[in-house]
Structure 1
Amino acid sequence: MELITQPCQTLSRACGEVGGSQLGGGTEPGGERDVLPFDAAEFDTVICTFGLCAIPDIDAAIAEMIRVLRPEGKLILVDHIPSSNRIVRGIQRLLETVTAPLAAEHFMRRPLDKIRATGLEIERVERFNLGIVERLTARKH
């Protein structure tokens, strides 16, 4: 195992571009969807926390995360999901009728289903806080 004592160039570039609000600002040559400003297979790990609940095209966002992930790379997602408690789930559904149109905030999405459909290997899934938060780890092959 190699101990890295200084930030690598890729990480420094990633932090600079994200900090400069370029994340999601680029488009493919056809201009059809937002793309991350990184080359394919550039990262060992991609982490997205509470982001997919506010991204309009969740499928495109997941595809971009997978695109920039190296083979054997790890995808870690933490996001709001429908509660495992029926009463809380009803409250989430009601809240989403307001939050989705006003702030694009979705509580009823289930990223796990989307990740399974991509063929990534699901390594771990955990639910927290009345089942309204899910953390999952998947690996690209």
Structure 2
Amino acid sequence: MISTIGTTTIQATNGGTLSTTTAPNSLVMNPTSMLVEMKSFIPSSYTFETEIEKIKQELLTSNLDCSAKDETNEQYLYEMEDLIDHLPKLPEIQQQKLTIPEFDEIEVKATDSVEIKKFIRKVNYEFPGFSLQP
């Protein structure tokens, strides 16, 4: 015996009726099986990462093909391209060689207290580019 969740009856224009019965687990979607089914439609040579990178590059160079089968999607693509075209351009990223700052030794004065002398010696030793060691 098959238990039913619900029955749907549709009145056809020619006077007939169409009745469907829903099986107990038919409304529950199994994401794993859906992914397996979707994978069979996608060629093995296709990778989403390369496609996404290609789209990003085309958007940045204002060279994206915005044609789509659905007019709404096509309009959306044109609007996205227009929006991205109006964003300010980012400056080129350039790597510069780091320079290590060099510091002059802080002189200890005779009038400095013991704590200040200790602090100055510590700072002189820890500053990059300067060391009391020969």
Q: TM-score range by the shorter chain?
A: under 0.3
TM-score norm. by structure 1 comes to 0.20
TM-score norm. by structure 2 comes to 0.21
Q: Which has the higher strand share?
A: 1
Flag the structure with more relative contact order, 1 or 2, with Cα contacts below 8 A and sequence separation at least 6.
1
Larger radius of gyration: 2
